[in-house]
Every structure is written in C-alpha cells, then in structure tokens.
Structure 1
Amino acid sequence: MTGLEAQWERWAAKAEETAGERLRSVDAIVEKNQEKVIRAFQKQKVSDYHFAGSTGYGYNDRGREVLDLVYADVFGAEAAIVRPHLVSGTHTISAALFGCLRPGDELLFVTGSPYDTLHKVIGKPGDGTGSLSDWGIACKTVPLQNDGSMDWDGVASAVSEKTKVFAIQRSRGYDWRPSFTVAQIGDMVRRIKSISPHGIVFVDNCYGEFTEDKEPPEVGADLIAGSLIKNPGGGLAPSGGYIAGRADLVELAAYRITAPGIGGEVGAMLGTTRSLYQGLFLAPLLVGQAVKGSIFAAAVFEQLGFETHPRWQDERTDLIQAIRFPAAEPLIAFVQAVQKAAAVDAHVVPEPWDMPGYEHPVIMAAGTFIQGGSLELSADAPIREPYIAYMQGGLTYAHVKLAVRQACFDLAAKGYVKG
C-alpha cells in the first residue's frame, strides 16, 4: 500500500466515524419511504398485468392509469400524471407552467433565479421561440437574501393582481445556498397564501424526492414536477417525468403534454411500464444510498480543507453535494475523476463545452446506464467563479466512495491535496 492509499484509508475511516450518526439517520428515512411506496402499490392493487404494454393511442391502458394513482398516493397529491414522453425535468416543469398560465398572467419565482435550463423557457417578449414571455406571460424573480433565506418583503412588493403562479425551486441548482426542506416549503406555502389566497404554489421537486419522509403536496404545495431519470425513477426509468398535485392543475398540465380534450386519457407507454413501477419501488433505497454518498463526500473533503455545501452534519433535502475549489483546474480534475470511477464510459475524458440551455461552458461527468440519469453518480460544474462542482447521485454508496477516492488521488497528483 502506498502512502497515499494509506492516507485515504485514514480519511475514509475518519469520515465514516465522524458522520456515523448522520449516515444511520438516512436509513430511518429510507424505511419510512419504502413503506409509503409499498402501501401505495397495495392500495391500488398493483398486479403483474399492469406491466403489459399498449400500442397506438393507448386507450384503456390500466397500467398507465394505476401508475398515475400510485404516484398521487406516494406524493400526497389529489392526482398525478407520469409519462415516458416527458424528455427531461425542464420539459416537465415547462408543461406544468404552461398548463397553469395564460397570456397576461404573471409567474413569480420566490427563491431567486431558477435553474439555468429554465431561462429559455421563460424567454423574452417577442423572442419567437414560444417561451412564456413570447406568449405574453411575465416572469419576475425575487432574489434570496445573502444568507440564502427568503426575502418576504421582496415577495410581498413583487406581487401584483396578475401574479398567478408562485414558483419554488427546492434544490440549490448552480447556487451556493441551502436547498429548501419540506418544512420550509410548508412555511413558504402558508406565507404565500396569506399574501395571495388564490395563488398557485408550484414546486420544482427535482433531486428532492424521497430525501425526506414527506413531499411538498403534503405541506400544501398545489403542484410539483420532477424527472424520472432523477430520484423517483430508481435508476430503471429510461425516460420520463411526473406532475402531481391538485387534480384541476394536473389536468391542465396533461392538456399541455398532449392536447386539450385528450390530456392523460391516452398515450402508449412504449414498453416502459414495468421499469417505471419497479424503479419507483427501488427509489427510496437508492436515494438513501446517494444521500449517504453525499454525506461521506462532504466529510472527506472537509478534512482536506475544501468548503462543502451542505456540510456533512447538515440536514439533507436533495441529492446535491456542492464542493468549492480554488481554481478551474482542480474543479475540472474533480469532475474528470468522477468519470474515471464510472462503470460506463470510464475511458472518456469530459471537457468543458457550450451545452445547450446553459449560459457558461459546463463540464459534466456522467458514466451512467441511463443517459443523463442523475440518480446515478454524476457531477457537473459551470466553468465560472466561484469554482463549484455539483456532485449528485450514486446507486450504491460503495460507488460514491470509489469516486471520492479517485478524486482525492487525482487532486493529490496535481498538488491540491497533501497525501
């Protein structure tokens, strides 16, 4: 064993000892969420015939219909629509927003600027792209305060008689701020309803599903949306998204996904039904594995003198682990190390590139079985100051540990970690 390998063993052992209680607390959340999912399956009497496929219009696809009911139960919602035809979280969120909003309405992001890929969905007036702004839907943003908390005075002053949808981004995105817990979202809902009783509270739930034992509809959110190639797909969903919440709002979103008058009544599932059910069944466990991996990564990198957010001891409400680096080179080395640790495409060396939907060059490590599947271990970073890498996912805790070890070795080779 080399000196660096021996040092790694000490780092890893100290991280697991230090964060032991936090790691064990994840297991309790996994057990609660696993029971919740199984009870929903049992309530809706899921059977193997629900896994059969359909063709064409997909009329009377009972598996599809029951899957919607199961998702509604799991997320504490009146209704849900779950479809493989939704190509990403951005597509799913876009469908939800376009479903709720009409020309002349106003969308208010109360948690600061949304994730980069939504900027094109919001758009600019007259941009000709069919964005929200192009359709005459105004969008306002209330920045968060310096400590990452809500600016409620700013929210109150931004509201107008046209404000219809209040949008909350649960996860940090590319920001150095805390993600919002379900309890915090519940408080936001109460405050928003006191300002605008008929306002619709929408939550971008991406990366947050099953990290806690409650979901936003259970604390009053009117509508949520997320991607199946993130948490709820359990690493098995080949594509798709879900929207859940008030039945009338889910129906409006369904009209946007298909067409008015059609909504969620049709749509062949393209052979994905079994994997969507089984992925949901596995999701609580696999999300727990990913959360444990993030806690471990934070505990290791804090030992090495790097800033992390959240820290290992902080409450978790999403998969994302942010790590700040002193320059672009160690940031890039970290992301490349995550790729090296993958089972798929480990030989590929990611480089920063101008990725569609992003405002700065982005480097992404994604050695995944499902392309872009961020419940699987991945990492990405915009190449801009401050130099922050965002690691998420990990179907197994052991895989995350392997990636953290690879990163430590590669950073040590470049002189950024002392072995």
Structure 2
Amino acid sequence: MAGLPAKLQNMVKEVDQQIAPRLAEIDEQVLYNQQRVLDLYREHHVAEEDLVGSTGYGTDDIGRDKLESIFADYFKTDDALIRPQLATGTHAISTGLFACLRPGDTLYYMTGTPYDTIQEVIGIAGDNPGTMKDFGIDFDTTELLPNGKVDYDGVAAKLRANDHIKVVAIQRSCGYATRASFTVAEIKEMIAFVRQILPNVIIFVDNCYGEFSETEEPTFYGADLMAGSFFKNAGAGFVKSGSFLVGRQDLIDACGARLMAPGIGKAEGATYAYMRDYFEGFFMAPHTTGDAIKGAIFEAALLEKMGLDVSPKWDEPRTDIVQKVIFGKPEPMIKFCGAIQHHSALNAFVDPIPSHMDGYEDKVIMASGSFIEGSTIELSCDGPLREPYCLYIQGGLAYAHIKVAVTHAVAETFFAEEQ
C-alpha cells in the first residue's frame, strides 16, 4: 500500500504472517457453510422464475415461499418469515417479541440489559408511544458477571421466582457493551440451562451479526424463535430492504399476524424486485461473512500492535462480525472513525460528526460509506461518545477493502506526523 510510513508497512507484513493460519481456518469454515447453502438451493430447485418477486398483496409468491423453506432448512427450524416490510433487525426483534408476549407477561433477558434500540422498544429508555411498557408487558433481566459471562445463579433465582416469564431472550452480539459476544456453544449451554427450569418457556435469540460466523446456529440447539437482518451477514451487501425471523411454526405464524394482520399473516407481503437480492445475498453470505471476519482478525492484530485494547483478540474464537476497539478518549476514536469514512467507496469526502440518533441515548459517531444505507455487512464503524470510548468496527464486503481502509486509518490516526 503506497504512501504509508515504513514502520507501519513493516507492522502490516508482521500481521500478515501472524494471522495467516487463522485466516486459513476461516476459509475452511466458509467452505463448509457454502456447501450447505448450495445443497439447499439444489434440493429446493431454485430457478430463474423464483427471482421475479410479487406486487400488490403478494399472495402466491412462489419464490418467497421457496426462500422461506430454504431458511427454515438451513437454520433447522419449522418455518421462516422473510419480508422487505421488516425494515430493520430491531423491527424483526420487536415483531417477534410482541408476537409472543401479552399484557401481564414478562420478557426476561438473561444476557443483561439489551442494547439501546431494544431498550426503547421495551420502554425502559426514551419516551415513545407503543412500547411494551405501554401494553402492560413487564421486563426483567439479570446483569452479566464482571467477566461478561452469564450469572447462572442469578438467572436461576429469577426464573424460579417469576411465574409470569413468557419469553427468555438471549442477545448473541455485544451491542454497545464491551463484553465478548456469545458463541453458539455458550448459547447452547444457556438454552439447556433454561430448559431445566422452565421447559415450556419461549427462548428467543437476537442473532444479528451472527449468521455464518460459525458452522452452527442457536436454532440448532433449541432456540424457539430467532431474528436476523439482511443488512448484516445474511444479505451479503445485496439486499436493499428486509429482515427475517426463523423458528417454531406457531411462533412464525404469530409473527406473520403481528407484522401483517390476524387472518392474513404470512399469506401476504409483496416482495417487489427484491427476490433476486435475497437469493443471491443468502448464497453469497458465507463468503462475504468470511471476508468480514478475516478483516476483523486483521484489525484486532494491527490495532493491538498499536497498544489498543481490542476484543476479540486476533486469535480468539469469532461468533460475529463485530470488532471492538477501546480508545479510552474521544479524540482518537473520532479521528479513526473519520479515516474509515475517508476510505469508503461512497461519501469519502464526508467528515463524521458525533450526533444524536433515533433510538440511542448518547451522541454516536458513525462512519458508513455503504451502497445500502445502514448496511453493516459493508465496512462501517460506530460507537457512543461515552466511556470507555469504544468503537465497533463491522463488516466489509471484501477483505482487501478492509485491509486498505483500516491500515490507512491507523496511519492517519497514529502516524499523522510521518505522512
């Protein structure tokens, strides 16, 4: 890469050698996941006519129905709900939770207080109409232990004490916390633990950022309902609108009724011109997620060499596409974020400015030169302007772009006088 200080160029070469075995492991994971997707496309006879989409009411959308069957098979669930009308991951989560809960029920998060936008859905942050609190749905949680792990003693006590717990929720990714994201193995343990105490409770997983990051998914181990976003892993940068839910048949039916209307449910919801994006995006998702994870490994190794606190470390297990970097103070965080923006394909001339965003309590700094607005499978970074000034780097459609952008961001943030 031209124009970089010699010291930084040598550091990049060292990082390349250091992480090579780990990148080879990711290649094997991508190969396994790609084979599974390909087999399902062949098994379900995906054809060109499935890419057409529907208009109006969206009834008898053959391609949509086929894609939902593929999703259900991939995630080993009864059914799936895929609609462009599910605007975001938060919308899919909200739809899933409202579908399951009724006044007097309790939503219980065993992985601590959820991230900002879900707090607003619940009604424990912000001052918004239509929250769960407005509908008489209660919320409870057990905060994580200081090491970021589940407090199983505290969880057991809450599950045994509250007869109104209807849904136990698990948040896979870290959100705007500094804890590690939970691996599928850890979520498997959580599900088994809950089942021992409340065998019939609904277990819901917020899987955003997680699809294809491992060779297994939480639904393989008994999660009843799970939400994900096409702006993240499963869309691979192709999908222009939509999110999804997968899970138990009765719960997916309830989600369809919540999203559309009772009596209509899954039967409607036009897909317009999105079906080609959905099929192509899900097909490319193993590869694109793999490149994003490779980029995160590179980020972790290089930024740790710069003396920053990173999580996960470059050689630690990966369960999502998020790389946390703690800057400790706002100035370098803002500067690094700006440099990522300046090395984006779109809006490279823009300087990110910390500002208030809908759904968040603190000012947020965000870099996103994505082709699809809000897409976090494309390279972006963001974080709240609050201690410990942690920046969350996500995604990247191509490992080469991630490497170029992050290396130049390091140069502009820490080697400015040498350039």
Fold agreement, TM-score > 0.5:
yes
Residue segments in structure 1 that go unaligned for 5+ positions in a row: none
CA contact (8 A) 1:126 1:134 kept: no
Alignment of 1:19-418 (within 5 A): 19-123=19-123, 129-159=129-159, 160-413=162-415
Residue correspondences, number: 417
Q: CA deviation at 1:332?
A: 0.4
Identity of aligned residues (%): 45
CA contact (8 A) 2:126 2:361 kept: no
Aligned partner of residue 134 in structure 1, secondary structure: coil
Q: CA deviation at 1:327?
A: 1.1
CA contact (8 A) 1:126 1:133 kept: no
Deviates more, 1:393-402 or 1:70-79: 70-79
CA distance in 2, matches of 1:329, 1:282: 37
Which residue identity is paired with 2:130?
A: G
CA contact (8 A) 1:89 1:241 kept: yes
Runs (4+) of structure 1 moved beyond 2 Å? 1-5, 124-128, 412-415
Residue deviations 1:111-144 (CA, integer Å, cap 9, x gap): 0111111111000599671111110110111100
Aligned partner of residue 81 in structure 2, secondary structure: strand
CA distance in 1, matches of 2:169, 2:329: 33
CA 1:2–1:63 in structure 2 vs 1: closer, same or farther (change >3 Å)?
Answer: closer
Residue segments in structure 2 that go unaligned for 5+ positions in a row: none
Q: CA deviation at 1:311?
A: 0.4
Aligned partner of residue 5 in structure 2, secondary structure: helix
CA 1:161–1:60 in structure 2 vs 1: closer, same or farther (change >3 Å)?
Answer: same
Which residue identity is paired with 2:172?
A: R
Deviates more, 1:233-242 or 1:49-58: 49-58
CA contact (8 A) 2:257 2:265 kept: yes
Residue deviations 1:159-199 (CA, integer Å, cap 9, x gap): 21100100000001111111111111111000001111111
Q: CA deviation at 1:326?
A: 2.8
Residue deviations 1:247-290 (CA, integer Å, cap 9, x gap): 11111111111011111111110210111100000000000000
Which residue identity is paired with 1:19?
A: I
TM-score by length of 2: 0.97
Q: CA deviation at 1:412?
A: 2.2
Deviates more, 1:21-30 or 1:124-133: 124-133
Residue deviations 1:45-93 (CA, integer Å, cap 9, x gap): 1111111132211111101111111111111111101111111110010
Q: CA deviation at 1:22?
A: 1.1
CA contact (8 A) 2:4 2:408 kept: no
Q: CA deviation at 1:8?
A: 2.1
Aligned partner of residue 146 in structure 1, secondary structure: coil
Aligned partner of residue 166 in structure 2, secondary structure: strand
CA distance in 2, matches of 1:156, 1:14: 47
Query: What is the RMSD of the two structures over their aligned residues, measured on CA atoms?
Result: 1.7
Q: CA deviation at 1:5?
A: 2.7
CA distance in 2, matches of 1:2, 1:181: 38
CA contact (8 A) 1:55 1:268 kept: yes
CA distance in 2, matches of 1:339, 1:226: 26
CA distance in 2, matches of 1:356, 1:220: 34
CA distance in 1, matches of 2:4, 2:41: 48
Q: CA deviation at 1:204?
A: 0.3
CA contact (8 A) 1:228 1:241 kept: yes
CA 1:127–1:17 in structure 2 vs 1: closer, same or farther (change >3 Å)?
Answer: closer
CA distance in 1, matches of 2:293, 2:124: 37
Q: CA deviation at 1:413?
A: 4.5
CA distance in 2, matches of 1:12, 1:351: 29
Which residue identity is paired with 1:16?
A: D
CA distance in 2, matches of 1:409, 1:128: 42
CA contact (8 A) 1:64 1:273 kept: yes
Q: CA deviation at 1:414?
A: 5.4
CA contact (8 A) 1:125 1:136 kept: no
Aligned partner of residue 58 in structure 2, secondary structure: coil
CA 1:32–1:126 in structure 2 vs 1: closer, same or farther (change >3 Å)?
Answer: closer
CA contact (8 A) 1:230 1:375 kept: yes
CA distance in 2, matches of 1:369, 1:302: 30
